[in-house]
């Protein structure tokens, strides 16, 4: 056992190179700072910090009411009064870097009340095509919708001598119910899907990262030993080959898990920034519904999910050990794990974008034969309260893992670890 | 019990027979050398005895243990220095010796004993504290030899121990091998350097195309083939 810990320590030390850690740390720091910056910027955009310039050429009761109404809705209204000329208004927008502008034309009230459809002119000044730049003029459609509502309400109330324009436009109220398995809750389906998607989106990303990272590390670790001519010495020592294999696998798994966890913290911050903080707060308005529908994962669900992830990683490591034995050096190790990447990418993309149960049967069963499919589906199934398919998936993965570990142990205990390589028809050289 | 008994050893890679049924034995404290040209089967023989390759046929006994059946037990008696060996470059010399010492024993006292011996054999002075990546070829070979001999194996298998070294380092390594053989170690080595073999070895086997043609002391072989040196012996044997 002592030899295992000695080897594990050595494997971790070998893997923790500057080439591995430095780019990773830089990416995480960038994610963190960009996320923070984006969160601030999107907050500014979303909370009506962006001014809207209005040139009121009508100067009617209605136009004044529109402006007062918009101010009451906390929009920052910049009244342009210096001129009645459109060119001057446009220049004003440019000089003052105001992204949104509205011109209320002359006779607006008269034409609107006479149902002659006056033209309300809006101006969106685009200064860039980034997310933040595009959000700066994103409030204009909301403003024009509010104006439309106000004006139409006034016209309807005026025409039918009623003050119930809202009810006339929306004569009924929709009560949304969501059913999941045998549970029902009164809530919006879109909100539930958004919440669940956000929760289940992270799990496949983490899994994919950990699986690919750890597999790459194990394959490179073996190939590097071959390249640096240290493998023969290691294999000739009185250490059980299974201990050598286990130490390499565990070292790669530990580092991959830590890297994935840190990466996801940075990535979550970044996504939060893009969504203006809405990513992490999407569940707040529908907490009761989430509980009623049983969508929150219990402690036992997390344990099952953890076991599934662990078995999935072990399986990837076992496969990587076998593939790594084919590599002659660290460079070729990157390419030998291509089959493993394919086996991981297929279920990864399918679980993110498709419903596997709606696939054609033969394709569905092929996808289910890929062990990693069950790892990626576990989060979704558990969220829906379906434990049995997850347990069956874990058992299936474990059986496949045992088979691959047996093969890996056989390779490491035999000549194959010394002689195996992708030689494309060339003779093996000893 | 003899440190090494090789009986009718065969090793094939697919259809190619690298070793075609060789027999030899090594006694206690004996330095036994395999000499032959490139591709003769020397390294294959050494790797098979070091348990890195599996014999296709035949038997190898290391202190009575059949390595085909008890590989791990056999490895406790063996220490192997490959021709093209490397060390973990991110470790310092002493970290490397400590790591390898820990793989040969769980007893802290034994590990320290191995380590201290390894530092003495390596004879690198303060450089032992530096990363192996900074070592010259000679220094690396010294640390590797130290690793191989520090555990006082019953059988040291050294493949071209002085390959690529300058005269000073080569002489140093030869002297260390001789010194440790006297301390109770059997040594199986291979080399192209006939002078080195004559200086070091007690007995020699000439191997070519996977077959051992002659075995004996250098003196016996030179007498038998009326040669001045082992090179001449080899040429005469190979031409037959």
| Six token digits for residue B201 | 């070895």
Q: Which residues from B are below 8 Å from A232, CB to CB?
A: 47, 50, 52, 80, 82, 85
DSSP of A230-290, one letter per residue?
A: -HHHHHTSSS-HHHHHHHHHHHHHHHHHHHHHHHHHHHHHHHHHHTTTHHHHTTGGGHHHH
- Gap between the Cα atoms of B48 and A415, Å rounded: 9
Q: Which residues from A are below 8 Å from B82, CB to CB?
A: 229, 232-233
| Six token digits for residue A116 | 């002659």
Check residue A162 and give its pLDDT.
57
Which residue of chain A has the CA closest to B81?
A: A233
Helix (H, G, I), strand (E, B) or coil at A407: helix
Check residue B37 and give its pLDDT.
86
Taking an 8 Å cut-off on Cβ atoms, the answer to whether B72 and A238 are in contact is yes
CA B58 from centre of chain? 21
**Residue A414 is nearest to which of B54, B88, B89, comparing CB atoms?**
B54
DSSP strands (E only) in A157-250: 177-180, 183-186
| Tokens 């299936």 belong to residue | A396
Instruction: Kindly state whether B125 is in contact with chain A, defined as any CB-CB distance less than 8 angstroms.
Output: no
**pLDDT above 50 (res A425):** no
Minimal C-alpha gap between B44 and chain A (Å): 7
| Average pLDDT score over chain A | 81
Q: Which residues from B are below 8 Å from A418, CB to CB?
A: 47, 52-53
| Six token digits for residue B109 | 């006292």
Q: How confident is the model at residue A214 (pLDDT cuts 50, 70, 90)?
A: confident
What's the residue count for chain A? Answer: 430
- Gap between the Cα atoms of A277 and A422, Å rounded: 49
Minimal C-alpha gap between A19 and chain B (Å): 13
Full-model pTM: 0.74
Sequence-distant (≥ 6) Cβ neighbours of residue A219 within 8 angstroms = A320, A321, A323, A324, A327, A333, A334, A336, A337
Query: Strand A183-186 relative to strand A177-180: parallel, antiparallel, unpaired?
Result: antiparallel
- Gap between the Cα atoms of A109 and B64, Å rounded: 110
Query: Strand B186-191 relative to strand B31-35: parallel, antiparallel, unpaired?
Result: parallel
Query: Strand B203-208 relative to strand B31-35: parallel, antiparallel, unpaired?
Result: parallel
Q: How confident is the model at residue A50 (pLDDT cuts 50, 70, 90)?
A: confident
Instruction: Kindly state whether B194 is in contact with chain A, defined as any CB-CB distance less than 8 angstroms.
Output: no
- Gap between the Cα atoms of A171 and A156, Å rounded: 14
Instruction: Kindly state whether B16 is in contact with chain A, defined as any CB-CB distance less than 8 angstroms.
Output: yes
Q: Which of A211, A214, A312, A209 is nearest to A12 (CA)?
A: A214
Minimal C-alpha gap between A248 and chain B (Å): 15
Instruction: Kindly state whether B152 is in contact with chain A, defined as any CB-CB distance less than 8 angstroms.
Output: no
Taking an 8 Å cut-off on Cβ atoms, the answer to whether B103 and A6 are in contact is yes
CA A343 from centre of chain? 21
DSSP of A29-68, one letter per residue?
A: HHHHHHHHHHHHHHHHHHTT-SEEEEEESS--HHHHHHHH
Minimal C-alpha gap between B73 and chain A (Å): 7
Cβ atoms of B95 and B83 closer than 8 Å: no
Q: Which residues from B are below 8 Å from A19, CB to CB?
A: none
- Gap between the Cα atoms of A161 and A155, Å rounded: 10
Q: Which of A331, A374, A222, A271 is nearest to A42 (CA)?
A: A271
Which residue of chain A has the CA closest to B96?
A: A10
| Tokens 């093996």 belong to residue | A428
Name the packing angle between helices A338-353 and A361-369 (round to 10°): 130
Q: How many CB atoms lie under 10 A from the CB of residue B105?
A: 18
Sequence-distant (≥ 6) Cβ neighbours of residue A193 within 8 angstroms = none
Q: Which of A385, A370, A210 is nearest to A293 (CA)?
A: A385
- Summarised one tens digit per residue, pLDDT across range A256-310 is 778 777 776 776 676 666 655 544 445 556 778 877 877 777 788 888 888 888 8
- Gap between the Cα atoms of A122 and A135, Å rounded: 16
Q: Which residues from B are below 8 Å from A229, CB to CB?
A: 82, 84-86
Task: Suggest the residue from A232, A411, A413 to mutate for an interface test with chain B (most B CBs closer than 10 A).
Answer: A232
Instruction: Kindly state whether B108 is in contact with chain A, defined as any CB-CB distance less than 8 angstroms.
Output: no
Q: Phi first, then psi: what are they for A185, rounded to 5°?
A: -145, 150
| Tokens 């149902």 belong to residue | A115
Instruction: Kindly state whether B43 is in contact with chain A, defined as any CB-CB distance less than 8 angstroms.
Output: yes
- C-alpha distances (whole Å) from B201 to each of A147, A300, B163, B218 are 103, 68, 16, 8
Sequence-distant (≥ 6) Cβ neighbours of residue A385 within 8 angstroms = A180, A181, A294
Q: Which residues from A are below 8 Å from B14, CB to CB?
A: 428
Q: Which residues from B are below 8 Å from A411, CB to CB?
A: none
Taking an 8 Å cut-off on Cβ atoms, the answer to whether B103 and A3 are in contact is yes
Taking an 8 Å cut-off on Cβ atoms, the answer to whether A13 and B147 are in contact is no
Sequence-distant (≥ 6) Cβ neighbours of residue A39 within 8 angstroms = A269, A272, A273, A276, A277
For A100, the enclosing helix (H) or strand (E) is: strand A100-104
Instruction: Kindly state whether A68 is in contact with chain B, defined as any CB-CB distance less than 8 angstroms.
Output: no
Can you tell me the ipTM of this complex? Answer: 0.90
Minimal C-alpha gap between B229 and chain A (Å): 30
Per-residue pLDDT tens listing for chain B (240 residues): 889 999 999 999 888 889 999 999 999 889 999 998 888 899 999 999 999 999 999 999 998 889 888 888 889 989 999 988 889 988 999 999 999 999 999 999 999 999 999 999 999 999 999 999 999 988 999 999 999 999 999 999 999 998 888 888 889 999 999 999 888 889 999 988 888 898 899 999 999 899 999 999 999 999 998 988 888 888 888 777
Cβ atoms of A207 and A215 closer than 8 Å: no
- C-alpha distances (whole Å) from B88 to each of A19, A225, A331, B37, B106 are 17, 9, 18, 30, 21
| Chain A / chain B CB contacts < 8 angstroms | 80
Q: What is the mean pLDDT of residues A313-317?
A: 88
Q: How many CB atoms lie under 10 A from the CB of residue A246?
A: 19
Instruction: Kindly state whether A239 is in contact with chain B, defined as any CB-CB distance less than 8 angstroms.
Output: yes
- Gap between the Cα atoms of B221 and B225, Å rounded: 6
- Summarised one tens digit per residue, pLDDT across range A335-366 is 888 888 888 888 888 877 777 777 888 988 89
Chain A, residues 216-235, CB within 8 A of chain B, namely 228-230, 232-233, 235
**Residue A430 is nearest to which of B43, B50, B147, comparing CB atoms?**
B43
Taking an 8 Å cut-off on Cβ atoms, the answer to whether B102 and A2 are in contact is yes
Instruction: Kindly state whether A357 is in contact with chain B, defined as any CB-CB distance less than 8 angstroms.
Output: no
Check residue B216 and give its pLDDT.
92
- Summarised one tens digit per residue, pLDDT across range A217-268 is 888 888 888 888 899 999 999 998 888 888 888 888 888 778 777 776 776 6
Q: Phi first, then psi: what are they for B33, rounded to 5°?
A: -115, 145
- Gap between the Cα atoms of B11 and B4, Å rounded: 17
- Gap between the Cα atoms of A232 and A4, Å rounded: 18
DSSP strands (E only) in chain B: 4-13, 16-26, 31-35, 57-62, 65-66, 78-81, 155-159, 186-191, 203-208, 211-216
């Amino acid at each position: 056992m002592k030899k295992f810990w000695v080897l594990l320590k050595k494997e971790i030390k070998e893997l923790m190179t500057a080439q591995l850690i430095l780019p990773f740390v830089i990416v995480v720091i960038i994610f963190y700072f960009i996320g923070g910056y984006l969160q601030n910027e999107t907050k500014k955009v979303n909370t009506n910090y962006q001014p809207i310039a209005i040139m009121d050429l009508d100067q009617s009761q209605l136009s004044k009411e529109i402006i007062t109404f918009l101010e009451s809705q906390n929009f920052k209204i910049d009244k342009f009064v210096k001129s009645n000329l459109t060119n001057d208004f446009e220049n004003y927008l440019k000089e003052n870097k105001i992204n949104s502008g509205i011109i209320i034309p002359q006779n607006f009230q008269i034409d609107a009340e006479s149902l002659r459809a006056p033209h309300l002119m809006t101006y969106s000044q685009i200064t860039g095509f980034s997310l933040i730049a595009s959000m700066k003029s994103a409030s204009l459609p909301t403003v024009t919708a509010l104006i439309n509502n106000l004006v139409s309400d006034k016209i309807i109330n005026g025409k039918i001598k009623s003050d119930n324009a809202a009810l006339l436009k929306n004569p009924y109220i929709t009560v949304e119910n969501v059913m999941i398995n045998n549970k029902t809750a009164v809530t919006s389906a879109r909100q539930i899907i958004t919440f669940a998607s956000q929760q289940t989106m992270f799990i496949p990303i983490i899994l994919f990262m950990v699986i690919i990272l750890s597999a790459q590390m194990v394959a490179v670790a073996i190939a590097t030993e071959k390249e640096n001519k240290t493998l023969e010495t290691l294999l000739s020592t009185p250490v059980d080959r299974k201990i050598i294999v286990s130490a390499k696998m565990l070292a790669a798994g530990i580092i991959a898990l830590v890297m994935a966890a840190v990466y996801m913290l940075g990535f979550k911050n970044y996504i939060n920034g893009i969504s203006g903080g809405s990513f992490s707060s999407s569940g707040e308005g529908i907490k009761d519904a989430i509980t009623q529908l049983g969508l929150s994962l219990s402690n036992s669900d997390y344990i099952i999910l953890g076991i599934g992830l662990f078995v999935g990683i072990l399986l990837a490591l076992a496969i990587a050990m076998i593939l790594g034995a084919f590599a002659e050096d660290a460079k070729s190790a990157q390419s030998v794990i291509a089959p493993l990447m394919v086996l991981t990418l297929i279920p990864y993309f399918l679980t993110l974008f498709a419903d596997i149960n709606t696939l054609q049967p033969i394709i569905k069963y092929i996808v289910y034969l890929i062990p990693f499919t069950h790892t990626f589906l576990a989060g979704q199934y558990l969220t829906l309260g379906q434990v049995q398919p997850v347990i069956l998936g874990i058992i299936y993965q474990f059986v496949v893992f045992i088979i691959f570990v047996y093969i890996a142990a056989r390779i490491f205990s035999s000549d194959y670890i010394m002689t195996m390589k992708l030689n494309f028809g060339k003779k093996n050289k000893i | 019990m003899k440190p090494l008994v090789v009986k009718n050893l065969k090793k094939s890679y697919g259809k190619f027979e690298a070793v075609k049924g060789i027999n030899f034995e090594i006694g206690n404290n004996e330095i036994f050398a395999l000499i032959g040209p490139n591709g003769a089967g020397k390294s294959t023989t050494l790797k098979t005895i070091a348990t890195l390759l599996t014999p296709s046929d035949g038997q190898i006994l290391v202190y009575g243990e059949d390595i085909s059946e008890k590989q791990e037990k056999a490895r406790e008696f063996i220490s192997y220095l490959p021709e093209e060996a490397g060390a973990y470059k991110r470790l310092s010399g002493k970290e490397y010796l400590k790591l390898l010492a820990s793989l040969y024993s769980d007893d802290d006292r034994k590990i320290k004993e191995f380590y201290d011996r390894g530092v003495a054999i390596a004879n690198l002075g303060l450089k032992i504290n530096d990363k192996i990546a900074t070592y010259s070829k000679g220094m690396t070979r010294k640390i590797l030899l130290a690793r191989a001999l520090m555990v006082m194996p019953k059988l040291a298998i050294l493949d071209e121990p002085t390959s690529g070294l300058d005269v000073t380092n080569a002489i140093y390594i030869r002297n260390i091998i001789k010194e440790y053989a006297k301390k109770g170690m059997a040594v199986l080595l291979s080399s192209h350097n006939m002078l080195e073999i004559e200086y070091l070895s007690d007995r020699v086997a000439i191997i070519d195309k996977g077959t051992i043609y002659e075995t004996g002391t250098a003196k016996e072989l030179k007498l038998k083939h009326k040669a001045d040196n082992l090179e001449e012996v080899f040429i005469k044997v190979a031409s037959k």
